Structure 1
């Protein structure tokens, strides 16, 4: 009986797998047709999808995002360990001339460019080895966020059409994030920049292009290099944390926060600026955890990645680079 059940189960799984394979192939035909309507050449379509493969591991990774939420006290030391800080400082010094040139052009402090580089890909060491076309086609076919991944697949084909990279070298994460700054294809088309002056936008192998692309993203998203990102602060006892949050209505000037009793984390008064600046109070864990006053540059980092923890990791690493 057990043997019979095993045989039946095996046949069922094989049939299901075959049906899924056929459905995926049909889905790819739909992607090809859409690409044609968007002006992608037949040559690029054929090259891109010639060996396209369904990647179940990408779907598994997308579904199995970490459920356990670390506190910031746990997360920050893991995201910004001492070895990463030391490496960031070393690379900041090594590339300082180039970073300064690019930072001045785009109006972005070089330390934030290096910090993003470090948090996103460990300074280019971890960029992913998935075929971008495989990953995006698989996740679009999965259907849970079809519109998003289908749109990104079309953007990926546009990148190939423009000749920025070959199909063979078109690699990224399981989600289709690419290169040393981990841009999604749509972000590449909007923000990738030629930092080396060679006429190419190579975020995979050319560090100057990585730096310029990151800086261009921040610049076009509203960065202001006259200010930093914010600071960790201390609240007075009994402070009403219901006013925390990044809604525009919850913004107050720095001196308003100061008058409410908020100080720097070490107890010193908040800085007095000739031209006061708007700030938002955030408590990503709760009032008993880390609390920050953040400026608009922090909001810009949140456009890059909509995670309070990500933006704080980048911010902390940027601060450590120049300490």
Structure 2
């Protein structure tokens, strides 16, 4: 990896500082191999845990504290500030839990392990380039056991492509700069096709069994209303031309949503459908 780093243009000094005293971390390997027993949480359990009253309350406070910043970010990237705040809350509890693993150590351990070596070698090289560019010091470059970094939990390759210097200090600091962290989340969503002004979706009550409807068939909201769908509280759907399709959470007791293009963009950040729906619900409640 030292030779690969030098070939990739990383300075010898950066490589020396990054790899000094490096050893495999057995806890990283343990977490990488961990597979939950059984089917896991139901959607209802997951929603109760993730979109909890505490997370909503913390989110409202963080949203209010960051309102001017989020407005500026919306002006630049044309992305919903409430969704930016919700992803921030989902990933790191509004920046309060960014992970305690050294990113270089974690990535080197996973690259050395062999199970997904090519992927983690690539991410390790990206992390070395981030260090070499002066955005963060090796000691401060901390994140998850898989190498996801900072308040947005970007992998190093995503950092290289999508992190932004929103506060204008010359560094893309997604660890300690709230402006850079939230701006980077918005840039990620923007680059993946966010449509300004469109809702992500909403929970609905179907008029009967949803199996009769083609889940891939997108219809305007007004058409879903004509078919008898209503809001989860029983109210009418918005009269809108925004196209949405049926979305059902995994392991759910019959809950049904309509999801639009922006829900698919949220799921580019993290693919599981339950994650995307939780971000959407949290975004509605924090703002």
Structure 2, gaps ≥5 residues long:
none
Which residue of the other structure, out of 235, 244, 256, is the alignment partner of 2:206? 235
Count of residues in correspondence between the two structures: 286
Conservation of the 8 A alpha-carbon contact between 2:44 and 2:252: no
Normalised by the length of structure 2, the TM-score is: 0.94
Aligned to 1:21: none
Shift, 1:214, TM fit = 0.8
1:74 aligns with 2:45: yes
**What is the CA-CA distance between 1:291 and the residue it aligns to?**
1.1
The range that moved more, 89-98 or 59-68, is: 59-68
Higher helix residue share: 1
C-alpha root-mean-square deviation of aligned residues, in Å? Answer: 1.7
CA distance in 1, matches of 2:185, 2:21: 31
Tell me the CA shift for residue 261 of structure 1: 3.0
Q: 1:176 to 1:255 in 2, by over 3 A?
A: same
Cα distance in 2, alignment partners of residues 167 and 151 from structure 1:
18
Aligned to 1:293: 258
Which residue of the partner structure matches residue 24 of structure 2? 54
1:197 aligns with 2:168: yes
Structure 1 residues 56 and 242: CA distance shift in structure 2, 3 A: farther
Indicate if the aligned counterparts of 1:72 and 1:289 stay in contact, CA closer than 8 A. no
Q: How far has the Cα of 1:242 moved from its partner?
A: 6.7
Please state how far the C-alpha of 1:288 moved relative to its aligned partner. Answer: 4.1
CA shift at 1:45, angstroms? 1.6
1:241, 1:287 within 8 Å by CA — same for their partners in 2? Answer: no
How many Å separate the matches in 2 of 1:250 and 1:40?
A: 49
Contact preservation (8 Å) 2:69, 2:179: yes
Segments of 5+ residues of structure 1 without an aligned counterpart are: 1-30
For 1:128 and 1:91, the matched residues in 2 are separated by 19
Counterpart-to-counterpart distance in 1, 2:206 and 2:243: 18
Alignment correspondent of 1:214: 185
Structure (1 or 2) with the larger CA radius of gyration: 1
Q: CA deviation at 1:130?
A: 1.1
Q: Match of 1:35, SS?
A: helix
Residue in 2 that maps onto 1:306 = 271
5 Å matches for 1:7-86?
31-67=1-37, 68-86=39-57
